[in-house]
C-alpha cells in the first residue's frame, strides 16, 4: 500500500492461478494475468491512510480479487457471454473492432449504441442469449415512432447485424437473428440544388465572407465539405494547373465532445482524385494566398502557425471547422433571403449543372469521386432530362403511327 492509500495490481498468479496478493506493513500487491497472458499493472485508491489500516486494506483487496476473477471468468469462458446484457456485448464489441475501422465510423457507431440502442435494450432487460428477431424489429418500430427516418434506422440495423455476426463467429450464439429481418428500405433522397442564376447570386453575395473559399470550391468542383476544408496549398500545382483531393477535415463526437479529425485519406479510393485548376479558381486562390501572407505579417505572434498549409482558415490562421461552416452557411442564406439548401447541396448543384450541359453520369461519377456508378445514378438520374429528350426525339423520328381516316 502506497503513502497515498493505493494498492498496486501487477501480473502474477494467485487464486485460480491468475491473481496474486502479497501484503506487508506498507504495501499490498494484487497480481493478475489477462486472457492473453499479458502482464497488466494498474493502481486503485483505497481511500485509507498508509499506516494502521493493513487489515482494512486486505479486506478491500479481497473484494477487488473477487471482482477481477468474476470479470476474467466472463472473458475467458464464452459460455458465460450469452448471459450478459445485450448492451454490454455491443459496448465490448465496439472496443474490439475500434482498431479495425475508421475513427469517424467508430464515432458514429458509438453514438448509435450509447444514445439509442443500449438504452432501449437495457430497459427491456434483453441479454445476448435471448435477443430475438422480433425484439430487434420492435426496436426499429419504436425508433420510427420517435421520428427517426428509415435511413437512420437502417444505420442502426447495420451496427446490430455486424455485431451479431461477430457473436456468431466467436460461437457466443448459434445464429444471427438480425439476418432474418428485412432491412429497412433506404429512402431515395431527392437533393435540393441551385440553378445557374442562384449560384451566380450566391457568388456575388459571398465575396469577402469567411466561408467564401469553401463555398466556391464546393460549387465549382462538387467537393464534399470535408474535402474543401481539407484542401492544402501543397495539393495545388499552379504550374501544371491541377489540384489534388487527398486530405480531409471532419468533426466527430468523442467522449461527449466534438473534435476535429484531420486525415490523409478520402471517403473512398475513388474520392482520391486530381482535378484541373480552373482559371476562376486559380485567381481566387492566388488572392487568398496573398491575403493570408499579409495577415500573418500583420498579426505576428497572434497568427496561428498550426495550419499554414491549409487553404480554408480564418483571419487569424485557425482552421475553419465543419460545424462552423455548416451553421454559418445556413445563417448566411437566411440573412440574404436566399433559398435554403444544405452546404452539401452545393455538390448536388455542381452535378445538376453538369447534367444540364450534356455531361454523362459516368463522367460526373469521376468528377465527384463516387465509388461506384450506382451511387451517381441513384442520386442524379431524375435530373437527366436532357438525355431522355434525346431518346424521345430518336423514337419519334424512327416510329410513326399511320391512322386511317374515316370517310
Q: How far apart are CA 235 and CA 313, in angstroms?
A: 16
Q: Are residues 145 and 92 in the same domain?
A: yes
Who has greater pLDDT, 366 or 370? Answer: 366
Q: What is the mean pLDDT of residues 1-12?
A: 42
> What predicted TM-score, i.e. pTM, was given to this entire model?
0.64
Q: Three cell numbers at 266?
A: 478520402
Q: Does any domain span residue 185?
A: no
Q: For 78-121, how does the pLDDT look when each residue is reduced to its tens digit (9 = 90+)? A: 555 557 899 999 999 999 998 888 888 888 899 899 999 999 99
**Does 88 lie in the same domain as 71?**
no
Indicate whether 302 and 350 sit together in one domain. yes
Nearest Cα to Cα of residue 205 among 336, 343, 330, 340? 336
In a shared domain, residues 69 and 100: no
pLDDT at position 396, please?
63
Domain that holds residue 344: 196-387
Same domain, 243 and 281: yes
State how many domains the chain has.
3
Same domain (yes/no): 230, 104: no
396 in a domain, yes or no? no
Note every long-range contact of 232-238, with CB atoms under 8 Å and residues 24 or more positions apart, other chains counting: 232/309, 232/310, 232/311, 233/289, 233/309, 233/310, 233/311, 234/309, 236/277, 236/285, 236/311, 237/277, 238/277, 238/282, 238/286
Q: HSE of 216 in the Cβ direction (CA atoms, 13 Å)? A: 25
d(CA 190, CA 184): 18
User: Per the domain annotation, does 226 fall within a domain?
Assistant: yes
pLDDT surpasses 90 at 14: no
Among residues 76, 107, 134, the one where a domain terminates is: 76
The residue assigned the cell 437473428 is: 177
Q: Is 345 in the same domain as 219?
A: yes
The reported pLDDT for the residue numbered 13 is: 32
With cut-offs at 50, 70 and 90, classify the pLDDT of residue 29.
very low
Pairing of strands 42-45, 242-245: unpaired
**Domain boundary residue among 43, 76, 109?**
76
The answer on 304 and 368 residing in a single domain is yes
Q: Please give the Cα distance from 283 to 238 (Å, whole number).
A: 10
CA dihedral 10, 11, 12, 16 (to 10 degrees): 110
* Residue 236, in any domain of the structure: yes
> In this structure, what C-alpha cell is assigned to residue 282?
486559380
55 compared with 222, residue with greater pLDDT = 222
Q: Domain with 135 in it: what CATH number?
A: 1.10.150.130
Question: Average pLDDT of the chain?
Answer: 79
pLDDT attached to residue 22: 41
Most confident of 98-102, 139-143, 148-152, 184-188: 139-143
Residue 11 belongs to some domain of the structure: yes
HEC string for 101-143: CCHHHHHHHHHHHHHHHHHHHHHCCCECCCCCHHHHHHHHHHH
CB 41 within 8 A of CB 11: yes
**264 in the same domain as 116:** no
Sign, CA torsion 39/45/46/52: positive
Share of the chain above pLDDT 90, in %: 46
The phi and psi torsions of 257 (rounded to 5 degrees) equal -125, 155
Q: Mark whether 29 and 111 lie in a shared domain.
A: no
Interatomic CA distance for residues 116 and 131, integer angstroms: 16
Q: Are residues 322 and 225 in the same domain?
A: yes
Among candidate residues 153, 180, 207, the one where a domain is terminated: 180
Residues 219 and 368 grouped into a single domain? yes
Is 402 contained in some domain? no
pLDDT tens per residue, range 196-245: 999 999 999 999 999 999 999 999 999 999 999 999 999 999 999 999 99
- Residue 368 sits at the vertex; the CA angle it makes with 220 and 391, to the nearest 5 degrees, is 95
CATH number of the domain that 218 lies in? 1.10.443.10
Which is more confidently placed, 35 or 151?
A: 151
- Per the CB < 8 A criterion, the answer to whether 47 and 57 are in contact is no
Q: Which three cell numbers stand for residue 162?
A: 455486424
Closest among 156, 214, 198 to 181, alpha carbons compared: 156
- 189 in a domain, yes or no? no
Whether 11 shows a pLDDT value over 80: the answer reads no
Q: Is 397 inside any structural domain?
A: no
Q: How far apart are CA 236 and CA 242, in angstroms?
A: 6
Alpha-carbon torsion (355, 359, 360, 366), positive or negative = negative
Amino acid at each position: 500500500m502506497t503513502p497515498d492509500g493505493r494498492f498496486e495490481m501487477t501480473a502474477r498468479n494467485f487464486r485460480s492461478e491468475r491473481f496474486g496478493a502479497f501484503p506487508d506493513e506498507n504495501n499490498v500487491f494484487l497480481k493478475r494475468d489477462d486472457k492473453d497472458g499479458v502482464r497488466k499493472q494498474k493502481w486503485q485508491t483505497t481511500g485509507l491512510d498508509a499506516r494502521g489500516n493493513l487489515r482494512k486494506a486486505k479486506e478491500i483487496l479481497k473484494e477487488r480479487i473477487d471482482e477481477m476473477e468474476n470479470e476474467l471468468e466472463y472473458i475467458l469462458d464464452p459460455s458465460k457471454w450469452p448471459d450478459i446484457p445485450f448492451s454490454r456485448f455491443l459496448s465490448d464489441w465496439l472496443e474490439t473492432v475500434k482498431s479495425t475501422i475508421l475513427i469517424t465510423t467508430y464515432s458514429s457507431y458509438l453514438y448509435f449504441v450509447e444514445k439509442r440502442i443500449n438504452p432501449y435494450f437495457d430497459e427491456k432487460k434483453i441479454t445476448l442469449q435471448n435477443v430475438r428477431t422480433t425484439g430487434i424489429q420492435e426496436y426499429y418500430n419504436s425508433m420510427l415512432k420517435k421520428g427517426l427516418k428509415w435511413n437512420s434506422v437502417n444505420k442502426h440495423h447495420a451496427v446490430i447485424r455486424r455485431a451479431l455476426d461477430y457473436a456468431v463467429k466467436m460461437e457466443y450464439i448459434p445464429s444471427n437473428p438480425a439476418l432474418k429481418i428485412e432491412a429497412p428500405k433506404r429512402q431515395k433522397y431527392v437533393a435540393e440544388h441551385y440553378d445557374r442564376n442562384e449560384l451566380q447570386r450566391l457568388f456575388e453575395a459571398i465575396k469577402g465572407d469567411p466561408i467564401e473559399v469553401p463555398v466556391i470550391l464546393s460549387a465549382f468542383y462538387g467537393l464534399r465539405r470535408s474535402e474543401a476544408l481539407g484542401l492544402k496549398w501543397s495539393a495545388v500545382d499552379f504550374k501544371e494547373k491541377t489540384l489534388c483531393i487527398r486530405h480531409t477535415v471532419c468533426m466527430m463526437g468523442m467522449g461527449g465532445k466534438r473534435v476535429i479529425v484531420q486525415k490523409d485519406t478520402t471517403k473512398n479510393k475513388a474520392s482520391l482524385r486530381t482535378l484541373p485548376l480552373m482559371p476562376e479558381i486559380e485567381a481566387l486562390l492566388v488572392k487568398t494566398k496573398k491575403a493570408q501572407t499579409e495577415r500573418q505579417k500583420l498579426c505576428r505572434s497572434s497568427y496561428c502557425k498550426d495550419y499554414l498549409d491549409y487553404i480554408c482558415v480564418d483571419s487569424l490562421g485557425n482552421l475553419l471547422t465543419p460545424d462552423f461552416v455548416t451553421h454559418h452557411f445556413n445563417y448566411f442564406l437566411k440573412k440574404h433571403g436566399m433559398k435554403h439548401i444544405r452546404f452539401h447541396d452545393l455538390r448536388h448543384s455542381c452535378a445538376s449543372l453538369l447534367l444540364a450541359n450534356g455531361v454523362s453520369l459516368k463522367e460526373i461519377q469521376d468528377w465527384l469521386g463516387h465509388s461506384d456508378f450506382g451511387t451517381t445514378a441513384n442520386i442524379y438520374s431524375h435530373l437527366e432530362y436532357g438525355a431522355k429528350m434525346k431518346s424521345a426525339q430518336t423514337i419519334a423520328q424512327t416510329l410513326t403511327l399511320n391512322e386511317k381516316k374515316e370517310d
